[in-house]
Amino acid sequence: MAPAVFGARRQPYSAGRAVVNAALHRPYTAAMLSYRHAFHAGNHADVLKHMVLVDLIGYLKQKDKPFWYIDTHAGAGLYALDTPTALKTAEFRDGIGRLWTETGLPAPVQAYVDQVRQLNRTGKLLRYPGSPQIALQLLRPTDRLHLFDLHSTDSRLLQKQYDGDRRIRAQAGDGYSGLKALLPPQPRRALVLVDPSYEDRQDYREVVHATEDALRRFATGVYMVWYPLLSKRESVRLPAALTALRERDWLQVELQVKAPAEDGIGMHGSGLVVFNPPWTLPAMLADAMPALVRLLGQDAGAGYHLQHTIA
Ligand SMILES: C[S@@+](CC[C@H](N)C(=O)[O-])C[C@H]1O[C@@H](n2cnc3c(N)ncnc32)[C@H](O)[C@@H]1O
């Protein structure tokens, strides 16, 4: 049966109110969320994030031992690209759309595109897999997925989508506290994706706090933290706050697709900090990133940045 795919009403990256419940250290309730990933699915940020996700899962699968995939901000799981919703923003056209008909892609980029092709077997780009779907396509019967989303609609869609698959536990709730409750994981191996929408300023603090706590609870996990490249101060400061959590064993990669806007509005790229990255990841990115800059770059400001402290 063909998988269900979802659309949504449009909301900007920065929508939302800055309300903090400091006592609970829980900044959000579901009612406060307006971001819907359906408007952004398959954009340049998803390309970078999902390409690295495919690579990290491949690396973890090299050992027979099972692992958990934990997605703290999972979204709806699957997205339609042919709905009025997706076509309104059409962000995928400047993301996966630019890679779709390319030949001769570097192997890691091709491996990611192949995962998107699994949902589009006719050859027409109509559907896009979110991070849970990509993980599901790649994980083995012995691996497990723990998915969280706080948005009332997207969490319902997520649960409906994966209902009945015994490998998957999809929960409507706060991914930061969900992560805390799962660590250390029972199989002592895990890949964690922390992928907030940064709808609220509090997310910038929460993502650092949650990652620090997770590294304390389970130091050997592989953690992928996504962030947007925006001109606002908290966004500019975030990567350094993340990499400061550990002296070594982290990697940072950024893809800038255009120069920052003069008015400071909008996202000009995105980045990831990976803790406990495989030693092979820097070489993979050195291979893939020039191609992503060439294919996804929108002006002369396009480029990439890669640094790591892998021993
Ligand atoms: C960028 S999207 C996730 C995209 C998804 N990881 C992917 O790559 O396909 C961020 C998601 O986080 C959800 N969200 C926001 N705050 C949350 C929280 N505290 N806990 C769990 N989910 C949250 C939003 O509803 C949204 O669906």
DSSP-derived secondary structure for 50-75: HHHHHHHHHHHTTSSS--EEEESS-T
User: Would you say the CB of residue 206 lies under 6 angstroms from ligand 1?
Assistant: no
Q: Which residue has the higher pLDDT, 22 or 250?
A: 250
Per-residue pLDDT, 21: 33
pLDDT tens readout for residues 12-52: 333 222 223 333 344 556 656 888 888 999 999 999 999 99
Per-residue pLDDT, 88: 87
Q: Which residue has the higher pLDDT, 120 or 87?
A: 120
Q: Which atom of ligand 1 is nearest to the CA of 199?
A: 15
- pLDDT class for 85, splitting at 50, 70, 90? confident
Average pLDDT over residues 273-282: 98
Q: Which long-range contacts (CB under 8 A, 24 or more apart) does 137-144 make?
A: 138/54, 138/57, 138/58, 138/61, 139/57, 139/69, 139/167, 140/61, 140/66, 141/167, 142/66, 143/66, 143/67, 143/68, 143/69, 143/167, 144/66, 144/68, 144/69, 144/168, 144/169, 144/187
Q: What is the pTM of this model?
A: 0.91
Q: Cα of 254 to ligand 1 centre, how many Å?
A: 20
The residues that bridge with 147 in the sheet, in sequence order, are: 71, 170
pLDDT at residue 3 is higher than 60: no
The pairing of strands 250-256 and 303-308 is: antiparallel
Query: What value does the mean pLDDT of the chain take?
Result: 90
Average pLDDT over residues 109-125: 97
pLDDT at residue 280 is higher than 90: yes
Per-residue pLDDT, 18: 26
The residues that bridge with 194 in the sheet, in sequence order, are: 225
CATH number of 30-300: 3.40.50.150
Whole-number Å distance between alpha carbons of 288 and 108: 6
Average pLDDT over residues 69-86: 94
Kindly report the protein residue whose alpha carbon is nearest to atom 12 of ligand 1: 73
Per-residue pLDDT, 28: 55
Per-residue pLDDT, 62: 98
Average pLDDT over residues 149-177: 95
Q: Tell me which of 49, 116, 150 to substitute to probe ligand 1's pocket, judged by most ligand atoms within 8 Å of the beta carbon.
A: 150
Per-residue pLDDT, 177: 97
- pLDDT class for 212, splitting at 50, 70, 90? very high
The residues that bridge with 306 in the sheet, in sequence order, are: 253
Per-residue pLDDT, 29: 65
Q: Cα of 60 to ligand 1 centre, how many Å?
A: 23
Per-residue pLDDT, 86: 83
User: Would you say the CB of residue 195 lies under 6 angstroms from ligand 1?
Assistant: yes
Where in the sequence numbering do the catalytic residues fall? 195
pLDDT at residue 270 is higher than 90: yes
Q: Which atom of ligand 1 is nearest to the CA of 41?
A: 9
Q: Tell me which of 47, 115, 149 to substitute to probe ligand 1's pocket, judged by most ligand atoms within 8 Å of the beta carbon.
A: 149
